[in-house]
Amino acid sequence: MGASRVPEAARKIEVLASADVVVAGGGVAGCAAAVAATRAGARTVLLERFGYLGGLATGGLVIWYVVMDDGKGRVVAGGLASEFLRRTEDLGGVEALDPAWREGRWPESGRLLPAFSPEAAKRALDEVVVESGAEIVFHVLAADPIIADGRIAALAVETKCGRYAIKGRFFVDATGDADLAVRAGAPVAESENTLSCWFRVGGVPGAFGPMTGLALGLFGDPDGPSAITGMDVRALSKWELDARAAAWRRLEEMKRERPGWEGAYILDTPTQPDVRRTRRIRGLAEVGERDAGGDVAGCIGLAADWRHENSPPGVWRIPYRALVPRAGPANLLAAGRCVSAEGGAWDVLRVIAPCAVTGEAAGLAAALLAREDAIACTDLDEEKLRAGLAEAGAVLD
Ligand SMILES: Cc1cc2nc3c(=O)[nH]c(=O)nc-3n(C[C@H](O)[C@H](O)[C@H](O)COP(=O)(O)OP(=O)(O)OC[C@H]3O[C@@H](n4cnc5c(N)ncnc54)[C@H](O)[C@@H]3O)c2cc1C
């Protein structure tokens, strides 16, 4: 990004926390990773750059919990993916859900993609993560992995009080953008995004629901910036300005076009940019469009194809090896929208429910590895992981 360089002096930094498992990023994937690791007995710290949990699902105002069923009446996202939704529903924050989903069933006639309140989801995630016993540290930016002997020994983080180190035995990159992976030298792939922005509107008749509010998506704007990766802060700054301007323009149009909308106003716009696919790891396995079905033996969870609203979709089996970078530090796993999947499969795996699925698997895997004093993520006994996930209610086949 910058044109010239200046030297930075090396220095010793204070250790802020030590844990068995360090999870960077408090989106849905990071929350699932932290809860799964803690429940498996690992001392776990969850690092989040903002002051709330949920990432894009809450701060990005992405209010559709996509997608939990296989289109044939079976709920395929169990475990923490279901628990997060249940806990949000307990707070009255989920719209019109058939109670059958709690028993793993869903009417064959429609897809299970409930709308939820971002505020209820934030609170539900607070509760679940705090109850698990994981330590949450907000307002820390995970910055530089400190590598020794091919492993991450500690993570340098930036805070208002300066730079600190977080020591750990296994690390989960749940930043959504593969920040740890790229800075630790693991191979990554990038993608581009066009301007998107969810915003919620009040003061209109027939609003969608009392808690979710009327959410409007703005996807693609001819006056917006051209495609960006979402990693360049100058491009991102322009994106933020353009996204809000486009939302206000859209509001004015709707006030003119829609009867009863004269008093409409914007309730909120995203507090993190609505970028979909930024960076992801290149893993030992790369889930591809043609892998739908996949290998049963190494499967750590399922992702249903949300792109087919009416016809029964494919269900992807996600292998553990898609969470393991193919090179770089030996003790790093990825979770959520930065796991290893390409093309259409990346689009299927990056939505909320599959992100919780890969987060839960990464957290449990990291805890098992730490318990066994393992050196590398490739040392994992995958059958133990699958057994633990099945016990926790994950759907594996
Ligand atoms: C426009 C748009 C529409 C979408 N629509 C839907 C939909 O309808 N339904 C659906 O299910 N999904 C949808 N998605 C996708 C889905 O919301 C996300 O992909 C998913 O929530 C990602 O979860 P995650 O935990 O992997 O990542 P994120 O939600 O991105 O969470 C990453 C977290 O890490 C934090 N973080 C990042 N870097 C650092 C760092 N260096 N140090 C510390 N913290 C860091 C962030 O603040 C964030 O909290 C949509 C996404 C977009 C952008």
| Cβ of 145 below 6 Å from ligand 1 | no
Q: d(Cα 317, Cα 233) in Å, to the nearest integer?
A: 35
- Residue ranges per domain, the chain? 15-191+278-391, 196-268
**DSSP one-letter code for 329:** -
pLDDT at 367: 98
Give every residue of the chain whose pLDDT is below 50, as ranges: none
Q: Closest Cα partner for 202 from 217, 213, 216, 218?
A: 213
Which residues neighbour 317 within 8 Å (Cβ) at sequence distance 6 or greater?
291, 293, 294, 295, 296, 299, 302, 397
Bridge partners (DSSP) listed for residue 44: 21
Going from the Cα of 52 to the center of ligand 1, the distance in angstroms, rounded, reads 13
pLDDT at 283: 97
Q: d(Cα 224, Cα 41) in Å, to the nearest integer?
A: 47
Give me Rg for the CA atoms of the chain: 21
| Cβ of 274 below 6 Å from ligand 1 | yes
CATH of 15-191+278-391, one of 1.10.3720.10, 3.40.640.10, 3.50.50.60, 3.40.50.300: 3.50.50.60
| Cβ of 38 below 6 Å from ligand 1 | no
| Cβ of 43 below 6 Å from ligand 1 | no
